[in-house]
């Protein structure tokens, strides 16, 4: 095992996949000699040159259009969209073209496109550079959406995404870029569509995504002091999400809290809550609780007050412990 920062785990994954397969190319704004807006592609231009690392004009629509054509012609593009907020500019290419190409052409084309994009708040980047929009893309048939929260998971999931013959949106929380963690020295993959139990417990299941996994683990330490033992599950893949792991955990604890940084309204937590209620309601001993951001734009000056954190998870766990049907 070795210690590595989240951002360098991304860099390693891209480099290894480009070395493994000459059809893997990197496309985006400033991904060449500048090394990417957050440094994820640093050094790759020197290794692979301008024929495989494409610096593009400032046009997200052009970037995704180029990727769609390249994928249809046999390449495996990795696209960087500088901020997830800028995905709004290329929604037509992603939602109306990339997500539908393989279906519309009866699988005559593969669409092996990876779209990497940093999301989330915590860096005081303001309301137009801090959003968590993963639920938009999870709502679109034809797209896979992953949200790795550790260096280990981002490297393994990114490598799996590059090898997938379908488009995958890789959502990286920018506040985790400096996070250190252990990864194997040898090559490994993390499977798409499989959640991970980060901490086993008996009293309440807490399903979390990305940065909220870390907040949930903090909450578990505090709750342990009060005799409450929670199970923390990292969803990892938003679509298709791992019902089996979550349903199995709920069948053990009989209580459920879902935590994500995105606004609570109409979010991933609502989908999981609905599925649990529809399919295994008899397993629940208390109402499901959701933790998410308030339904307002992300404030620059009050960002810390806006963001959900471990205290919100603790409050939700205690509330569901107090209640019964």
The mean pLDDT value of the chain amounts to 97
User: Measured in Å, how far apart are the chain's first and last C-alpha atoms?
Assistant: 46
Q: Which residue do the tokens 């860099």 mark?
A: 11
Say if CB 116 and CB 41 are below 8 A apart.
no
Q: How many CA atoms does the CB half-sphere of 100 hold within 13 Å?
A: 9
pLDDT > 90? residue 325: no
CA-CA distance, 207 to 236, in Å (whole number)? 10
**225-250 as b/e: b if 16+ CB within 10 A:** eeebebbbbbbbbbbebbeebbbebb
Q: Report pLDDT for 109.
A: 85
Angle at 230 between CA 251 and CA 245, to 5 degrees: 40
What domains are defined for the chain?
Answer: 2-183 (3.40.50.970), 196-322 (3.40.50.920)
Ramachandran bin of 144, using left for φ above 0, alpha for ψ from -120 to 50, beta for the remaining angles: beta
Region 173-193: what's the mean pLDDT? 97
Six-digit token string for 79: 């696209």
pTM: 0.97
- Longest Cα–Cα distance of the chain, Å, equals 62
Burial of 1 from C-beta contacts in 10 A (0-12 / 13-18 / 19+): exposed
Tell me what percent of the chain is helix, strand and coil, each rounded to the nearest 5.
40, 20, 40
Contact in structure between 71 and 111 (CB atoms under 8 Å):
yes
pLDDT of residue 143: 98
- Nearest by Cα to 78 from 154, 33, 34, 14: 14
The pLDDT, as a whole number, for residue 187 is: 97
Average pLDDT over residues 289-300: 97
pLDDT at 203: 98
Does position 29 have pLDDT exceeding 90, yes or no? yes
Respond yes or no: is residue 177 known to be catalytic: no
- Reported as a single tens digit per residue, the pLDDT across 5-16 is 999 999 999 999
The stretch 43-68 carries a mean pLDDT of: 96
Total count of residues recorded for the chain: 325
Any idea what the Cα angle at residue 273 is, between residues 271 and 275, rounded to 5°? 70
**Structure confidence by residue, pLDDT tens digits, 57-115:** 999 999 999 999 999 999 999 999 999 999 999 999 999 999 999 999 999 989 999 99
Q: What pLDDT sits at residue 47?
A: 97
pLDDT at 236 over 90: yes
- Region 288-313 average pLDDT: 96
Give one DSSP letter per residue of 229-272, joined into a string.
-EEEEE--EEET--HHHHHHHHHHH--EEEEEEEESTTSHHHHH
Q: pLDDT at position 35, please? A: 95
- pLDDT tens by residue, 103-142: 999 999 899 999 999 999 999 999 999 999 999 999 999 9
**Span 192-221, average pLDDT:** 98
């Amino acid at each position: 095992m070795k210690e590595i920062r989240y951002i360098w785990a991304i860099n390693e994954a891209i480099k290894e996949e480009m070395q493994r397969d000459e059809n893997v190319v990197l496309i985006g704004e400033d991904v060449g000699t500048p090394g990417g807006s957050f440094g994820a592609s640093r050094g790759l231009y020197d290794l692979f040159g301008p024929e495989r690392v494409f610096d593009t004009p400032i046009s997200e629509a052009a970037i995704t259009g180029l990727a769609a054509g390249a994928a249809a012609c046999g390449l495996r593009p990795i696209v960087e969209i500088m901020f997830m907020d800028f995905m709004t500019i290329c929604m037509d290419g992603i939602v109306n073209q990339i997500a539908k190409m393989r279906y519309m052409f009866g699988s005559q084309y593969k669409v092996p496109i990876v779209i990497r994009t940093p999301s989330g708040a915590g860096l005081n980047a303001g309301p137009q550079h801090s959003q968590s929009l993963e639920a938009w893309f999870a709502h679109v048939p034809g797209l896979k959406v992953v949200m790795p929260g550790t260096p280990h998971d981002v490297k393994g999931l990114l490598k799996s995404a590059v090898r997938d013959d379908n488009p995958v949106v890789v959502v990286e929380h920018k506040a985790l870029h400096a996070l250190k963690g252990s990864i194997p020295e040898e090559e490994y993959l993390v499977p798409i569509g499989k959640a991970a139990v980060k901490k086993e417990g008996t009293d309440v299941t807490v399903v979390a995504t990305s940065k909220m996994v870390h907040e949930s683990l903090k909450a578990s330490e505090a709750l342990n002091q009060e005799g409450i033992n929670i199970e923390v599950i990292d969803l990892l893949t938003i679509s298709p999400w791992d019902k089996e792991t979550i349903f199995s955990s709920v069948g053990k604890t009989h209580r459920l809290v879902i935590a994500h940084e995105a606004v609570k309204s109409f979010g991933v937590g609502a989908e999981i809550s609905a599925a649990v209620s529809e399919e295994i309601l008899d397993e629940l001993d208390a109402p499901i609780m959701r933790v998410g951001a308030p339904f307002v734009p992300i404030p620059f000056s009050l960002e810390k007050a806006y963001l959900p954190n471990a205290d919100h998870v603790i409050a939700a766990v205690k509330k569901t412990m107090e209640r019964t049907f």
